[in-house]
Amino acid sequence: MNKKFVAKTLLLVVMALSFVVSCTSKDQLKKTIEENPDIILNAIEKHPKKFLDTLNKAVEQARSKAREEQLAQEQQDLEKEFDNPKKPSLDKSRVYFGDKDAPITIVEYSDFECPFCTKGYNVMNEVKEKYGDKVRILYKHLPLDFHPLAMPAAQYYEAIAMQSPSKAERFHDMIFENQQALKSKKEDYLKEVAKKVGANVSKVLKDKDSEKVKDIITADMAEANKFGFSGTPGFLVNGVSVRGAYPFSHFEKIIEKHIERMKK
């Protein structure tokens, strides 16, 4: 067995067990292993299964502790945002899915080509089904560079929105429900869906390249970056951040807490 590999492996164990070892003893152990790897090599050769079992257990404990710390930090950050919510632009001229006067606003920063955003779309449907007119969703754009169809899809969406909010919403739904068709047919599929929802396709093709559409998408991307969203999907639930395609239960907890706070 390679001595360098053994030394590195044992150091991983030391790191994994660091939450039960003092800094001084950990440093001493690290130095001993680096200077005398033969001690460990001999022990491993005599008890390989025991060593691997110990290593796997230590790594799992370290991962579990790291996850607990991450969850605790996320919960702490969440609590702070309930008291200090982020404040996105809520332009009345934009397309809202749901009652425009709903007490809960979910701003979604998304990418039409992103598979995780399809998961986000499905979760938002669950949210709408449970909360009805208590929730409205404002779809904003964060097209990622490595998704070549994301920007064109965002442009089509906003161009259709200039004609009809309801047609834009149907366009949005059809793209996410048939994302594979978007990838295979590319921009032809965007034209196809625009036609299916009843939009004036000639006008869409003209408006999608307009300064108005460009400014909307640019502003959405800048706002997402300002709030620290670098990947998709990202959400603000009445100003409280959700970073990623979390399950419905996560949104439910946040929404219920907002509703409880509104009663006070």
Q: Mind listing the pLDDT tens digit for each residue in 36-92?
A: 777 667 777 777 787 778 778 878 887 877 767 766 677 677 789 999 999 999 999
Distance CA 138, CA 135 (A): 10
pTM score, whole prediction? 0.75
What pLDDT score was predicted for residue 32?
A: 73
Quick: pLDDT tens for 106-140: 999 999 999 999 999 999 999 999 999 999 999 99
Rounded Cα distance, 128 and 96, in Å: 12
Q: How far is residue 245's CA from residue 263's CA, in Å, rounded to a whole number?
A: 29
Q: Dump strand ranges (E) for the chain.
A: 96-98, 104-110, 135-141, 234-237, 240-243
Mean pLDDT of the chain: 88
Q: Provide the pLDDT for residue 52.
A: 78
Sequence-ordered list of residues with C-beta below 8 angstroms from that of 92, at least 6 positions apart, any chain: 100
pLDDT of residue 166: 97
User: In whole angstroms, how far apart are CA 159 and each of 112, 145, 169, 232?
Assistant: 15, 21, 12, 22
Residue 188 tokens read as 């032809």
Q: Between the CA of residue 114 and those of 120, 133, 183, 218, what are the distances in Å?
A: 10, 28, 10, 18
